[in-house]
A and B are shown apart, each in its own frame.
Chain A
């Protein structure tokens, strides 16, 4: 079965410092990986995705993610964190079994950026 794991419930970082939110995946076949962000009382906003090609994927709001096949990881990164980046971040993998295209989400990582 396809799955993703987000090993950290919370990540704390000071404003201006680089941030990393970790995600590992387990899939059969090619992985289709996504990052979403959820601000308080808001829906999920798409940040970026990896389908194929360059292992470094650039997304919205200055975020990027690095796909690492050997380590089965897809960590989200940003060179310089902002207080406004504080939110709940979800990694997801597309379930390609059968006819479903559902997303399988990790448990989420709360990012707290201190001023």
Chain B
């Protein structure tokens, strides 16, 4: 167990809908990262937050947004869902978010868009 929790584990929804994925980092970790794992794109970085502030953006669609709350948990919001958004979404956390730190991953949320 990495100490990173994600809810829900599975999500099935329809095209055009909006969903929210939740992540709680390891105790004391200030940085949260979101990644998407799909068959065609592999593992891709989406976005990083550090202590409530956005630090870096990757290949995140405009339909997707995220935030990190004062208690350091993070939410990834996916809207106007398309079939191609079906994927496994991982959250990871690390202490300060510097280069040397290990990122610990949660179990993921598997999203299926029908």
Question: Contact residues of A with B, CB < 8 Å?
Answer: 32, 34, 36, 42-46, 49, 51, 90, 94-96, 98-105, 107-108
Contacts and interface: CB of A to CB of B under 8 A. Distances in A.
A90 B43 contact: yes
Contacts of A42: 107
B90 A100 contact: no
- Most chain B Cβ neighbours within 10 Å, of A51, A102, A108: A102
Contact of A102 (B42, B45, B107): B45
A43 B2 contact: yes
Interface of A is mostly: loop
A21 to B, nearest CB: 16
A108 B58 CA distance: 20
Nearest to A103: B103
A101 B101 CA distance: 9
Interface of B: 2, 4, 31, 33, 35, 42-43, 45, 48, 55-56, 58, 90, 92, 94, 97-108
A98 B58 CA distance: 12
B6 to A, nearest CB: 8
Given A94-B99, A101-B94, A107 B42 contact: yes
B100 A105 contact: no
Contacts of B94: 101
Given A36-B105, A43-B2, A43-B106, A101 B98 contact: yes
B43 to A, nearest CB: 4
B90 A43 contact: yes
B56 A100 contact: yes
A85 B108 CA distance: 21
A101 B56 contact: yes
A32 B2 contact: no
Contact of A98 (B56, B90, B103): B56
9 nearest A-B residue pairs (beta carbon): A100-B56, A102-B45, A105-B43, A44-B105, A43-B107, A43-B105, A51-B100, A43-B108, A101-B97
Contacts of B104: 46
- Most chain B Cβ neighbours within 10 Å, of A44, A90, A98, A104: A44
Contacts of B48: 100-102
